[in-house]
Amino acid sequence: VLVRAPEKAVQEKGAQEKGAQEKGAQEKGTAPQLAGLAAAADAACGGALTRAMAAADFTGKAGSSCVVLAPGAGLRRVVLIGVGNREQGGGHSLRDMEAAGGAAAAALLRDEEAALATDGMPASHAAHAGLGAMLRSYRFGLYRTKEPADQAPRLKRLVVLTDDVAAAEAAWPAARAIAHGAALARDMITEPPNVLTPAVMAERCLALRELGVEVEVLEPSALQDWGALMGVSQGSANEPRVVVMQWRGGAEGEKPVCFVGKGVTFDTGGISIKPAAGMGDMKYDMAGAGAVIGAMAALAGRKAKANVVGLVGLTENMPSGTAMRPGDVVRSLSGQTIEVLNTDAEGRLVLADVLWYAQDRFAPRCTIDLATLTGAIIVSLGHEHAGLFCNDEALAGQVLAAGKATGEGVWRMPLGEAYDKLIRSDIADMKNIGGRPGGAIIGAQFIQRFVRGPWAHLDIAGMAWATKDTATTPKGATAYGVRLLDQFVADHHEAGRAPGRETGREPGREMGG
């Protein structure tokens, strides 16, 4: 059950002083009052929940929870989840509801069936609590053959109780589609690189056809002019693929939005090989592609009223006798030549060709690429924000707003002529590296040379993988970008509001034009 903090406890919390807060919990009148279904459950258990809250000093603070075992009335486990006070800022945000749903799922993992009471809250809150629960209970169990039964999660069904069933049922399919898209992305990103080769990843994209997405796989024979991408892949025994996924939910003939993802299924660095420590992390160097695929699944799953094309460049980056050498010059699909001075700066080579192709073929309204492009962006922004590089103020505002609305952090980074100069080559049109300082910007600057029209680049190297659990994400692949891209489409490329879809736009504050 979701428990609101009482007025008083929140005021004390506002004092930002731990002592005061703990004292506040003991003060008369600050204990959270159970209402609705929670009160009914409490009464059925003879007040066991109220007693447990007092014994645990539970105040209902957002993010807090209190587990009550066998309280009576035949209940196995009751979890009280604090959602703070709705007087704070005029209502719980949908993010708070997702966190609460996530906390519920985490606490109830060992129960086969559970119910989550959201009565007294709007239907959208019920849907987002369900979304949070689904996101948090994601698990990748494919390769576990001997997990002890007393440790395996058992939760099969979580029923969300709500006052307005019809409205909640209308809101749910969109939320569920997002959860499915995120799970699809996480599945791919988590797969080991021996399993998820470019060909296998492309094959898995075909599953989107069931959702009504048109999926085309470009084989190496169709990629002969893609010199930058082929340069990266030439050292690998696993051939590259490019996948084009079209969702036509918008008006016939309306120009699409393009999403482009870096899909390096394993990045050894190539001949400019990476150090051994941590190299295994580079299985998630296809997380940008994973996010694009997951977003396409989410958009199709909720029948978004927009035309969207997702393109992913899938390749391995391996050292071998056929691998690209530092010093090689390749000719990109655009015709521009690139001196490859570091084979580990491969993501930009892949994106150069896929971006060029996307713009050439689809003349998109705008293009957003996602890539685990640089370690430098992790130095800049840590694991809280992806770096946003953008050549269009309106688009930048929209991407930032989508990040805010979904809780997927985005921070704008600069582009500029002075950085572009750093990738001038003595013998080709450009080189693929430009020195350590401003490394993420240089990567973006390189990509910009293959861009026409409004474009945003998200460097997600610090966001694709989490080393600890958060409210709605178990540690591991985060599927960062799936929700942001979906929200971006919902807010800016769907004519009206799709039914049952929450908008992230704040009323009266339109971003960009």
Give residue number: closest CB to Mn ion. 344
Smaller CB separation from ligand BES, 123 or 461: 461
- Which one, of 73, 8, 9, lies nearest residue 37 by Cα? 73
Active site residue 404: no
Q: How far apart are CA 56 and CA 13, in angstroms?
A: 17
Instruction: Give the distance from CA 367 to its chain's centroid.
Output: 18
347 touches Zn ion (CB under 5 A)? yes
Question: What's 437-484 look like in SS3?
Answer: CCHHHHHHHHHHCCCCCCEEEEECCCCCEECCCECCECCEECCCCHHH
CB of 423 to ligand BES, least distance (A): 10
Smaller CB separation from ligand BES, 289 or 376: 376
Applying CB under 5 A, the residues found at the interface with Mn ion are 267, 344, 346
**Is 326 in a helix, a strand, or coil?**
coil
Residue 461 contact partner, candidates ligand BES, Mn ion, Zn ion, none, CB within 5 to 8 A by sort of partner: ligand BES
- Say which residue the tokens 């590089």 belong to: 389
Residue 439 contact partner, candidates Mn ion, Zn ion, ligand BES, none, CB within 5 to 8 A by sort of partner: ligand BES
CB of 461 to Zn ion, least distance (A): 8
Find the part of the chain contacting Zn ion (CB under 5 A) among 88-96, 221-229, 259-267, 480-488: 259-267
Residue 405 contact partner, candidates Mn ion, Zn ion, ligand BES, none, CB within 5 to 8 A by sort of partner: none
- 134 token code pair: 């689904």
Smaller CB separation from ligand BES, 27 or 384: 384
Give residue number: closest CB to ligand BES. 375
Let me know the angle formed at the C-alpha of 463 by 458 and 465, rounded to the nearest 5 degrees: 135
Find the part of the chain contacting Zn ion (CB under 5 A) among 67-75, 265-273, 308-316, 500-508: 265-273
Q: Which helix (H) or strand (E) holds 485?
A: helix 482-492
Q: How far apart are CA 421 and CA 442, in angstroms?
A: 9
Answer for which of 239, 285, 408, 459 binds Zn ion (CB under 5 A) is 285
Smaller CB separation from Mn ion, 6 or 443: 443
Applying CB under 6 A, the residues found at the interface with ligand BES are 267, 285, 342, 344-347, 372, 374-376, 433, 439, 461
60 touches Zn ion (CB under 5 A)? no
Q: How far apart are CA 207 and CA 294, in angstroms?
A: 11
Smaller CB separation from ligand BES, 191 or 285: 285
Q: Which helix (H) or strand (E) holds 259?
A: strand 257-267
CB of 436 to ligand BES, least distance (A): 8
- Say which residue the tokens 């540690």 belong to: 475
Report the 10 Å Cβ neighbour count for 35.
15
Active site residue 361: no
459 touches Zn ion (CB under 5 A)? no
Smaller CB separation from Mn ion, 201 or 471: 201
Q: How far apart are CA 391 and CA 68, in angstroms?
A: 53
Q: Which helix (H) or strand (E) holds 72?
A: strand 65-72
Residue of 61, 186, 302, 348 marked catalytic: 348
Q: How many residues does the chain have?
A: 513
Residue of 95, 274, 365, 412 marked catalytic: 274
Would you tell me which residues interact with Zn ion (CB under 5 A)?
264, 267, 285, 347
- Residues taking part in catalysis: 274, 348
